[in-house]
Amino acid sequence: MIFRRSRHSDEISVMNRRSALERVVLTIVTILVVLFFMLPIFWLVTTSFKFGREAFAIPPRWLFFEFTLRNFQEVLATTKISQYLLNSIIVSTGATILSLALGVPAGYAIARSQSRILNSSAYFFLILLMVPPIAMLIPFYLIMRDLRLLGTYASLIILDTVFDAAFVVWMMRSYFADVPKEMEEAALVDGASRFAAFWRVALPLSIPGVVAAAIYVIIFSWNDFLFALMLTSPETKTIPLGILASFSAVEINWGKMAVMCLFAIIPALVIALFLNRYFVQGATMGATKG
Amino acid sequence: MVTTDHQISTQENRWLARVRRFRSREGAYWVMLAPLLVFVVAVAIYPLLFSFRISFFKYRLTDPNQVQTFVGVDNYLRALQDPTVLTALRVTLIYVAGTVIVELLLGLALALLLASEMRTTRFVRSFLLVPMALPPLVVGLVWKSLYNADFGVIPYYLKQMGVSVGRGPLAEPAWAMPAVILIDVWQWTPLLMIIFLAGLKSLPTEPYEAAYADGATRWSRFIHITLPLLKPTILVALLLRTMQSFKVFDTIYATTGGGPGSTTTVLNFHIYTVGMTFFDMGYAASLANVLLVIIAILSALYIMLLERQQL
Amino acid sequence: MYHKFCRLCHSIVIAILVLSIVGCAAPVAAPSAAPAAEAPAPIAAGLEVCQGQNLVLASMTDQYVAAFRALIPQFEEASGARLTLDELGYVDLYQKLIADFVGQTANYDLMTVDIVWSGEFGQNQYTLPLDDFMARDEAELQLDDILPVAWTLGEWQGAHVAYPLAGYANVLNYRKDVLEEAGIEPPATQEELLAAAQALTDPDAGFYGMALLGAKGPAVAQDYMVWVQQHGGRILDDEGKPALNTPENAEILKFFGELFNYAPPGSADYWWDQRETAFRSGNVAMMEGWSIARAGYENPEISSVVGKVDIAVAPVKAGLEPKFGFGGWGIGINADSTPQEQECAWQFIKWLTSPEIQKEWLRNDGAPIRRSTMTDPEIVAQYPWMPVLLESFEKGDGDYRPRIPQYSIIQDALGTHVNAFIVGQVTAEEALDAAQKQVEDNWQ
């Protein structure tokens, strides 16, 4: 649909039909681009293996430094990093399941319905995405207090899901709009209900879209910091809050910070490097159709 | 006995038929949407209404008696006269305009640069995806370290090149805003690249064939064919990034804390200070509503432009 | 072909990551290994109420957190309670505590309370006033041994909403080798300090006279207030109303700003950690700062200036009666915890602040509150700078930062506008006028 290869995609690409000089220039530009985007991450990874003052040696040591695992040992000895990771996994999983369960059928309904009200309800979810999180957070915090749910996984999952599900609807609506209706219609003629048509026909055809949406929800809820700051207890702290604890008034400790950050970016690395097909698809699902 | 049974079943049938007719039309869709609507209404609408209501009250979260005093539109009037808020609004607009424009241009350039389906470009593209998946907090912390005036990598190389870095990128009033914009550009340009790549690939081929036959230059093909055809994609990308850019928080929190002075205090960050440091809930809510209205108006403009495009 | 190649690359990257993480899962000793503790202290009476209790302590990641790490296992063994330590940075500690108090969730039973939070926590009844406990157990507490100024850690309107935990004095650290070589006496007044800073600064060599806190937010606000104190200025007027923009304060701010000319250029963005690192890496001659950091300069692992540092009382403006900035942390009990938890928490405080345990506390990077600890021959032998600290404590001023409920508003306003002055955006008068207006607008 989106990455359909056109016969004339050469027309678009600037890399083709170029003189040798142009090719060299473009290759250099490409290398610079890659350096710009990758060096900060490379810095983070190498810093996690530099202990103490080695981390801020001047001039910077990019490749040849004293390699050590002491930062990892310290983090494992003095923080509850495994607990933070477990909490992040629980929250991300919960938010993902809940927002898919709510958002995918809703997106399908909006995409297939002829009703004006239903169609334009998509904009309602778009507006929801515009709400500054802080505006939602404070009242939600007070409600959770009255329900005695502060500090539970549930409170964080529910608030994450509000924004995540709105995003899923917006994405899945445009995805389903691209899925041909013919097979569903054939199923309806055979006497299947609308639900069956969705569940048995449309959904299996849309697994890539659902995976793409899921990836985004995982990233959003894993990366969330503001909500977790207010809604978690010491037992349910997620990994971004753990990072903050690596700062102290005592000294700059970039090594320890880098280790915590490294744990926090594991899903990002896995998704960007292994699931990039879905990741790309997700970014464009909401975009090309409007 | 038989008759009644029959009657009941006819009635039942009629009812079922009606249900089926309804279901065959829109009912099923409503049912599919219902769980989410119920959830959103239960979870999100009340907080939003609360936030709207409390913006007309004076309410300090840390007050032991939790007193709420009605003050009418005082909070909004106060916002209009508050120099901090007006500065924050200006800073926000600069930040949003800066990030969105730079990312748009750079994203388009990257998409053109990396559009081919060669092995190497695909390999390169998969690495460029990493920044946008990272937690913004981590991104902020990494860049803060890179910018560090004494030990940071960036000032070190700038000094090597003979550039005076003064107090360091994050503490010089003239540099701080470009420095935080660069962080946003680093993280989000790849997203725009992906969107534009998809847009480029879905372009029809006929106009290019015609232009090719006419001997149009690459540049004029780009200006006269590619850009106009790409307009809807550009608008959607603008909408997406503008919405996100207005809500920036984590990276500011992790890098400048809004400084130096108020140079990078965006409105969303200021709301956080009012709400979570002064606990002045009514005022914070009114500021949040102002921000929401600004975002909504801008988004509505985009959407109207977009709908006109699609007609 | 491409796919295989690409996947291989990715697999290698991930494999390295995974291996590096798994590879260091072996347990290790805590970094700043405590000097071997002597025989555990005698169990204080009353610890048995802790049997089976489960407490959580929220602690700032200050130096003393290492002492908590070392001592808590001892307490658990002595009392049979479980005490979980939750370490938090300065800003998130405050936020998590407020969230806990307002939500009445009692996630934290014990918390470290910055001296400047006393008013807010007291006024809003967030922490339990300890006066009943103190009256009940007075016989065991040796209250007279705790220095008078230490009681400002957690006192609010006569009640003790936190108990003294770690007293910090603002002292002058200086490089004795550098000053000796330049033939400069350790400055005794602010005027001498400025002159010395000027004389010792050599930007071409990358060497500077002073290290200061300049970062927007709490850092620059608190450092500025130190200078206000040292120059005899005031933050509040006689009626307790904020008076930030007096002509005297503007003069002090100009003096403070002038010092930045002799500080590393990055100072305008320094938090505590960066200031400490600047001094320890040997690029700075002098630094006024909290005494608790002193021991760290002798630790070769984090310091390049081992054996080269000396300490003196902080200089005040010529002609002023010497008074020294005092700060630090109290330890409070959550008002929403159950009475049993509160009782056990109090037993922990009693145990931790007892003279025997205080010595252990100090040896593990804690900070003193008792005269007996500060004059203990063993402690003085190990930390020869104790007498300077004691002198600073004797003439300490714990109120130079107003410990009132509105403190965070003052700190935020000064944190923004003093920083704007330091980076040259506004004049001193404009900065303080803007700060005064912001405080008045938000005063509640």
Task: For residues B112-132, give the mean pLDDT.
Answer: 86
Question: Predicted ipTM?
Answer: 0.88
Nearest CB to C61: which of A69, A151, A245? A245
Q: Based on the domain organization, do C278 and C363 belong to the same domain?
A: no
Nearest C-alpha neighbor of C258 from the set C174, C207, C191: C191
Rounded distance between C-alpha atoms, residue C85 and residue C331, angstroms = 13
Answer yes or no: are the C-beta atoms of A197 and A188 closer than 8 Å.
yes
Q: Which residue of B has its CA nearest to A168?
A: B36
Cβ count within 10 A of residue A285: 26
Q: Looking at the structure, tell me whether residues B30 and B96 fall in a common domain.
A: no
Contacts of A13 in chain B (CB under 8 A): 112, 115-116
Within-domain flag for B11: yes
What DSSP character marks residue C62? Answer: S
For the stretch C122-163, pLDDT in tens is 999 999 999 999 999 999 899 999 999 999 999 999 999 999
pLDDT of residue B87: 93
Residue C36 has pLDDT above 80, yes or no: no
- Set of chain C residues whose Cβ sits within 8 Å of the Cβ of B277: 408-409, 412
Instruction: Quote the mean pLDDT of chain C.
Output: 88
pLDDT band at B77 (very low <50, low <70, confident <90, very high): very high
What gap in Å lies between CA B37 and CA B27, rounded to an integer? 15
Given a contact cutoff of 8 angstroms between Cβ atoms, the answer to whether B116 and A15 are in contact is yes
pLDDT confidence of residue C317: 94
- Chain B residues with CB under 8 Å of C216 CB are 256-261
Percent residues over pLDDT 70 in chain B: 92
Instruction: Tell me which of A289 and B200 has the higher pLDDT.
Output: B200
Task: Give me the domain span that covers residue C82.
Answer: 51-168+327-393
Same domain, B235 and B272: yes
Q: Which residues of C touch A49 (CB under 8 A)?
A: 20
Asked if B117 and B208 sit in the same domain, the reply is yes
How many Å lie between the alpha carbon of A182 and the closest alpha carbon of chain C?
34
Does B75 touch chain C if contact means CB atoms closer than 8 Å? no
Measured CA distances, B222 to A21, A198, A288, B211, B218 (Å): 21, 41, 19, 11, 6
**From the CB of residue A170, how many other CB atoms can be counted at a distance below 10 Å?**
21
B-chain residues near C442 (CB < 8 A): 278, 280
Q: How far is A250 from chain B (nearest CA, A)?
A: 16
* Sequence letter at residue B310: Q
- Contact predicate C70/C364, CB 8 Å: yes
C247 and C181, same structural domain?
Answer: yes
Which letter does DSSP use for residue C292 in this model? G
Name beta bridge partners: B69: B58
B160 contact C CB<8A: no
| Mean pLDDT along residues A265-273 | 87
pLDDT at B288: 93
Which range has the worst mean pLDDT, A168-182, B247-261, C19-33? C19-33
Indicate if C135 and C242 belong to the same structural domain: no
C244 and C367 both lie in a single domain: no
- In Å, the largest CA–CA distance within chain A is 74
Q: Is A49 on the interface with C (CB under 8 A)?
A: yes
In whole angstroms, give the CA distance from residue B22 to residue C114. Answer: 65
At residue A260, the pLDDT reads 93
Domain assignment present for residue B78? The answer is yes
Residue C89 included in any domain: yes
Please choose, from the candidates C100, B253, C121, the residue with its C-alpha nearest in 3D space to the C-alpha of residue A234: C100
- Assess whether C219 and C358 both reside in one domain: no
Question: Does C428 share its domain with C291?
Answer: yes
Quick check: is B63 in a domain?
no
The answer to whether residues C143 and C136 touch, using CB atoms and an 8 Å cutoff, is no
* Cross-chain CB nearest to C419 (options B78, B166, B259): B259
Q: Give residue-wise pLDDT tens across range B7-53.
A: 556 666 777 766 665 555 678 888 899 999 999 988 888 888 999 99
Residues C284, C288, C290, C294, CA torsion sign = positive
Buried b (16+ CB within 10 A) or exposed e, A23-50: eeeeeeebeebbeebeebbebbbbbbbb
Which of B144, B155, B223 has its CA nearest to residue B186?
B144
Q: Is residue A187's pLDDT more than 50?
A: yes
Q: Look up the CATH number of the domain holding residue B234.
A: 1.10.3720.10
In a domain, C294, yes or no: yes
Q: Which residues contact C76 (CB under 8 A, 6 or more apart)?
A: C82, C83
The one-letter amino acid at C245: N
Cβ contact, residue pair B261, C216, below 8 Å? yes
Tokens 């990233």 correspond to what residue? A219
Q: Tell me, yes or no, whether C12 lies in a domain.
A: no
Closest-CA residue of A relative to C16 is: A45
Based on the domain organization, do C352 and C429 belong to the same domain? no
Residues 6+ apart with CB under 8 A from C21: A72, A263
CA distance C76 to chain B (A): 34
What does the pLDDT average to over A177-194? Answer: 85
Indicate whether B176 and B31 sit together in one domain: no
* Min distance C123 CA to chain A CA atoms (Å): 21
**Residues C153 and C182 both lie in one domain:** no
User: Residue C18 — very low, low, confident or very high, per pLDDT cuts 50/70/90?
Assistant: very low
In a domain? residue C216: yes
pLDDT tens-digit map of B197-253: 988 888 888 888 888 888 888 888 888 888 888 888 888 888 889 988 999 999 999
Across the range C194-199, mean pLDDT stands at 96
Residue C30 has its nearest CB partner, among A72, A78, A229, at A78
Residues in chain A: 290
Asked if the model's pLDDT at residue C94 lies above 50, the reply is yes
B67 in a structural domain: no
Chain C contact for B172, CB < 8 A? yes
**C85 phi and psi, to 5 degrees?**
-100, 125
Q: Identify the pLDDT of residue A55.
A: 84
Looking at the structure, tell me whether residues B31 and B137 fall in a common domain: no
Q: Which two tokens stand for residue A234?
A: 């010491």
Of the pLDDT bands very low, low, confident and very high (cuts 50, 70, 90), residue C444 is confident
Strands C309-313 and C82-88: unpaired
Domains and CATH numbers, chain A: 9-72 (no CATH), 75-289 (1.10.3720.10)
Q: Is residue B41 part of a domain?
A: yes
Span A56-70, mean pLDDT? 85
pLDDT at A11 over 50: no
Name every residue whose Cβ is closer than 8 Å to that of residue C154 and which is 6 or more positions away in sequence: C113, C115, C118, C127, C160, C161, C162, C163, C164, C330, C331, C332
Please indicate, yes or no, whether residues B130 and B35 belong to a single structural domain of this protein.
no
Segments forming the whole domain that contains residue B128:
74-310
Q: What is the pLDDT of residue A290?
A: 39
Counted across chains A and C, CB pairs separated by less than 8 A come out at 120
Interchain pair B135, A138: CB under 8 A: no
Q: Report the neighbours of C using a cutoff of 3 or more CB pairs below 8 angstroms.
A: A, B
Residue type, A70: R
Of the candidates C267, C302, C299, the one whose C-alpha atom is nearest the C-alpha of residue C284 is C267
CB atoms A243 and B136 under 8 Å? no
The 10s digit of each residue's pLDDT in A29-38 is 999 999 999 9
* Chain C contact probe: residue of A75, A134, A227, A244 with most C CBs at under 10 A: A244
User: What are the φ and ψ backbone dihedral angles of C329, each rounded to 5 degrees?
Assistant: -130, 140
CA distance B154 to chain A (A): 10
- Phi-psi group of C376: left, alpha or beta (phi > 0 → left; psi -120 to 50 → alpha; rest → beta): beta
Query: Tokens in use for B224?
Result: 């006269």
In a domain, B60, yes or no: no
Angle between helices A116-130 and A81-112 (to 10 degrees): 150
In chain A, % of residues over pLDDT 90: 41
| pLDDT tens digit sequence for A82-139 | 999 999 999 999 999 999 999 999 999 999 888 888 888 888 888 888 888 888 888 8
Residue contact B119–C268, C-beta within 8 A:
no
- Using CB atoms and an 8 Å cut-off, which of residues 75-94 of chain B contact chain A? none
pLDDT at A117: 84
In a domain, C98, yes or no: yes
Contact C211, C287 (CB under 8 A): yes
Nearest Cβ partner of C441 from B82, B262, B273? B82
Partner B, chain A 37-56, Cβ-Cβ below 8 Å: 37-38, 40-41, 43-44, 47, 56
| Closest by CA position to C209, among listed C129, C279, C127, C112 | C279
Same-domain pairing of B205 and B88: yes
SS3 B149: coil
Measure in Å the smallest separation between the Cα of B169 and chain A Cα atoms: 16
- Could you tell me if C81 and C112 lie in one domain? yes
Contact B124 A161 (CB under 8 A): no
pLDDT of residue A287: 57
Lowest-pLDDT range, A241-250, B122-131, C105-114, C180-189? A241-250
Helix (H, G, I), strand (E, B) or coil at C437: helix
Measure CA C17 to chain center: 36
Chain A residue nearest residue B34, CA to CA: A106
Candidate from B118-122, C111-115, C239-243 with smallest mean pLDDT: B118-122
Determine the Cα–Cα distance for residues A140 and A132; give it in Å rounded to an integer: 13
Q: Tell me the C-alpha distance between C410 and C222, whole Å.
A: 10
Taking 70 as the threshold, does the pLDDT of residue C39 lie above it?
no
Query: What are the chain B neighbours of A104 within 8 Å (beta carbons)?
Result: none
pLDDT higher than 70, residue C22? no
> Does C226 score more than 80 pLDDT?
yes
Residue C15 lies in a domain: no
Q: Find the closest chain B residue to C439 by CA distance.
A: B278
What pLDDT is stored for residue A126 in this prediction? 85
Of B25, B54, B83, which residue constitutes the final position of a domain? B54
Contact A58 B156 (CB under 8 A): yes
B180 and B92 in a single domain? The answer is: yes
- CATH code assigned at C161: 3.40.190.10
A contact chains, 3+ CB pairs < 8 A: B, C
Q: How many distinct structural domains can be found in chain B?
A: 2
Q: Tell me which residue in C28, C107, C301 faces A73 most closely, judged by beta carbons.
A: C28
Contact C433, B273 (CB under 8 A): no
Mean pLDDT for B269-277 is 90
Residue at B43 is within a domain: yes
**Residues B204, B93 share a domain:** yes
C280 with C272: CB under 8 angstroms?
no
The reply to whether C381 and C421 lie within a common domain is no
A161, containing H or E segment: helix A153-178
Average pLDDT over residues C186-214: 95
* Helix-, strand-, coil-residue percentages of chain B, each rounded to 5: 75, 5, 20
pLDDT of residue A284 exceeding 70? yes
Q: What is the distance between the alpha carbons of residues A267 and A265, in angstroms, rounded to a whole number?
A: 6
pLDDT value at residue C16: 41
Q: What was the pLDDT predicted at B153?
A: 92
Interface contact flag, B26 A225, Cβ < 8 Å:
no
The amino acid sitting at C165 is L
Residues of C in contact with B262 (CB under 8 A): 416, 420
Report the alpha-carbon distance of residue A288 to residue B232 in Å, rounded: 8
Among B20, B22, B31, B33, most A C-beta atoms within 10 A, so best to mutate, is B33
Cα–chain-centroid distance for residue A129? 15
Q: Cβ contact (<8 Å) for A252 and C277?
A: yes
Asked if the structure places residue C270 within a domain, the reply is yes
The residues, any chain, with a CB within 8 Å of residue B7's CB and separated by 6 or more, are none
pLDDT at C194: 96
Confidence at residue A181, expressed as pLDDT on a 0 to 100 scale: 85
CA angle A282, A284, A286 (to 5 degrees): 85
Task: Kindly state whether residue C22 falls inside one of the protein's structural domains.
Answer: no
pLDDT of residue B118: 81
Inter-CA distances, C309 with C223, C287, C303, Å: 21, 10, 11
Q: Which amino acid is at C184?
A: I
By C-alpha distance, which of A154, A266, A274 is closest to A211? A274
Question: Which residues face C331 on adjacent strands?
Answer: C112, C163
B43 vs A22: CA distance, rounded Å: 56
- Residue type, position A123, single letter: Y
Residue of chain B with shortest Cα separation from C206: B150
Number of domains in chain C: 2
Instruction: Residue window 103-162, chain B: list those with CB within 8 Å of chain A.
Output: 110, 112-118, 121, 124-139, 141-143, 145-146, 148, 150-151, 153, 156
Question: What pLDDT does A15 receive?
Answer: 44
CA distance A164 to A168: 6
Task: Evaluate whether residue B299 is within a structural domain.
Answer: yes
Q: How far is A225 from chain B (nearest CA, A)?
A: 7
Per the DSSP assignment, residues forming a β-bridge with C55 are C83
Asked if C229 and C346 sit in the same domain, the reply is: no
